[in-house]
Amino acid sequence: MMVQQKQKLKRWAKLFAKIVLAIMLLGIYKDYSPVILESSSFWGTVYIYLHLGVGCFLVSRLLKKIGVRWHRELLFSGLILITLLLATETVLRFGVKTRLDYCEISGNSFRAKYFEQHIDSKELPYAPFDTVWTTKAEFSFHRVINENGIFEKSIPTKEPGEIRFLCLGDSFTEGVGTEYDSTWVKHTEKLMQQSRKDKKITFINAGTSGNDPFGEYHLLTTKLLNYQPDWVIMVTNNSDVFDYMERGGLERYKKDGTVSHRKGPWWYQAYRYSYIIRHIAHDVFHLKDFLVTEAEEQKLVNQSLAEMNTLFKSIDSLGTAKGFEFVLVLQPMFNEVETAQYNFEKVTELLAQRQYAIDLMPSMISQVSKLPPSTPFYWPLDAHYNALGYRFMAHGIFDYLDSIVPATAIDTLQNQNYAAPNH
């Protein structure tokens, strides 16, 4: 009786193991992966190697059943190979730190370069009036989300004579790495308020991490024109070139309300979870960040700049229709300030033939050069500016705005009528 119970229990255990294995395999091939794959790219690596180990065991059992004598040798060799590969992955991840992406360096999970092909069109995934806490290895800060889903205080109805500056951009405009009042947007607001004490000056921070000019334009036309801005300031940088490589331009927005991004190579998921494959892709085949050749990358850079120039002309036309002036700001990253050169020098072409354009590079270099030795203006691991770096950005932007927005120009603009956009 006891033997029968043990055999029955063994059969149930085998059935359970097979069901678990089927779910695990389904997770890999049908994208029903458990949370562990999203929470950490390294634990995702371990998870996949566990699959390989289980698969090796099952193959060995199958060979045993059909009478293959060397099934044990195959199992032993397979498990040794898998163990060695996982050990190599571990060394590359934590020892050599080969090809870690920005998020992994700052202590978070891998940020996929190519998103799902069809995602919700919401550019801002936060609920109105929510509070978001961001904690990284070097800093922590929080943001309160307003009624329109941006990291800004609630904006009341525009007052007569009030001058509004709507600021668009990515994480450098949102101010990742510092608190709300220390962003370049709020620093510039204080400087303009001091310069125009007889005017009500309001700066609205609509910067959102990971956004790009095309997403910002979509956000502007669908939500933010209701703020009735007098000036729209858009900050762009070299990361926007990469964003175009990843997502494309305005064609990403589909009529059914979804967003379709570019498709990555068929082996992209393997690249995501294997540090060995990352090493082979970049250091053996010399692929660039978006897994393209240097020639292909240059072609995409040129295409990106052309598409962005077309977009900026659309914003100019929108400004003429809605009564605002458009200012484009080119912002260098910390390493570009230190080398006094943009990684993609062609990005400066975005400023050509624009009525209002700011290249922050000269101003940033000038201010950083006056710092005492070893005074940081950015976070070394995270690579965003700290409060000091954002203050430098603010001074460069303010100096330009103060020269192009005299009191007479403001008086002229504030008397115009603004129509809310049609949705």
Q: Is 256 domain-assigned?
A: yes
Q: Is 267 domain-assigned?
A: no
| Residues 152 and 55 grouped into a single domain | no
pLDDT at 410: 40
Q: What percentage of the chain's residues is helix, strand, coil (to nearest 5)?
A: 55, 10, 35
Secondary element (H or E) of residue 319: helix 294-322
| Residues 247 and 329 grouped into a single domain | yes
Secondary element (H or E) of residue 79: helix 71-90
Q: Are 68 and 61 in contact (CB under 8 A)?
A: no
Q: Which two tokens stand for residue 143?
A: 């943001």
Q: Is 402 domain-assigned?
A: yes
Q: Which two tokens stand for residue 147?
A: 């009624």
The residue among 105, 128, 149 that closes a domain is: 105
Q: Is 302 domain-assigned?
A: yes
| Residues 101 and 139 grouped into a single domain | no
Q: Which residues pair with 163 in a beta bridge?
A: 201
Q: Which residues pair with 259 in a beta bridge?
A: 119, 253
| Residues 142 and 247 grouped into a single domain | yes
| Residues 97 and 123 grouped into a single domain | no
The residue among 105, 132, 152 that closes a domain is: 105
Sequential pLDDT tens for the chain (423 residues): 566 676 766 676 666 666 666 655 555 444 444 444 444 567 778 877 887 887 888 888 888 888 888 888 888 898 899 999 999 989 988 888 778 776 676 666 666 555 444 344 445 556 778 888 888 889 998 888 888 888 898 899 999 999 999 999 999 999 999 999 999 999 999 999 999 888 899 999 999 888 999 999 999 998 899 999 999 999 999 999 888 888 889 888 888 777 877 777 888 878 888 889 999 999 999 998 888 899 998 898 999 999 999 999 999 999 999 999 999 999 999 999 999 999 888 899 999 889 999 999 999 999 999 999 889 999 998 999 999 999 999 999 999 999 998 664 444 444 343 333 333
| Residues 131 and 89 grouped into a single domain | no
Q: Is 110 domain-assigned?
A: no
| Residues 156 and 47 grouped into a single domain | no
pLDDT at 329: 98
Q: What is the DSSP string of 263-292?
A: P--TTHHHHHH-HHHHHIIIIIS---TTS-
Q: Are 360 and 393 in contact (CB under 8 A)?
A: yes
| Residues 139 and 96 grouped into a single domain | no
- Return the CATH number at 192: 3.40.50.1110
Q: Is 381 domain-assigned?
A: yes
Q: Which two tokens stand for residue 220?
A: 């502007």
| Residues 74 and 177 grouped into a single domain | no
Q: Are 132 and 123 in contact (CB under 8 A)?
A: no
Q: Are 165 and 235 in contact (CB under 8 A)?
A: no
The residue among 105, 128, 162 that closes a domain is: 105
Q: Is 163 domain-assigned?
A: yes
Secondary element (H or E) of residue 75: helix 71-90
pLDDT at 121: 43
Rounded to whole angstroms, how far apart are CA atoms 134 and 418?
36
Rounded to whole angstroms, how far apart are CA atoms 137 and 124?
24
Q: Are 144 and 154 in contact (CB under 8 A)?
A: no
pLDDT at 411: 42
90: domain range? 2-105
pLDDT at 261: 79
Direct distance between the N- and C-terminal alpha carbons of the chain, in angstroms, rounded to an integer: 74
pLDDT at 396: 97
| Residues 251 and 394 grouped into a single domain | yes
Q: Is 286 domain-assigned?
A: no
Q: Are 384 and 170 in contact (CB under 8 A)?
A: no
Please enumerate in sequence order all residues whose Cβ is within 8 A of that of 297, keeping only pairs 6 or more positions apart, or say none.
245, 288, 289, 290
Q: Which letter, b or e, does each residue of 339-351 get, where b requires 16 or more Cβ atoms within 10 Å of its Cβ?
A: eeebebeebeebb
**Beta strand 231-236 pairing with 325-330:** parallel
- Total domains in the fold of the chain: 2
Q: What is the dihedral of CA 406, 412, 416, 420, to 10 degrees?
A: -10
Number of DSSP helices (H) and strands (E) in the chain, helices first: 16, 9
| Residues 196 and 61 grouped into a single domain | no
Q: What is the DSSP string of 13-70?
A: HHHHHHHHHHHHHHHHHSS---HHHHH-HHHHHHHHHHHHHHHHHHHHHHHHHTT-TT
| Residues 166 and 91 grouped into a single domain | no
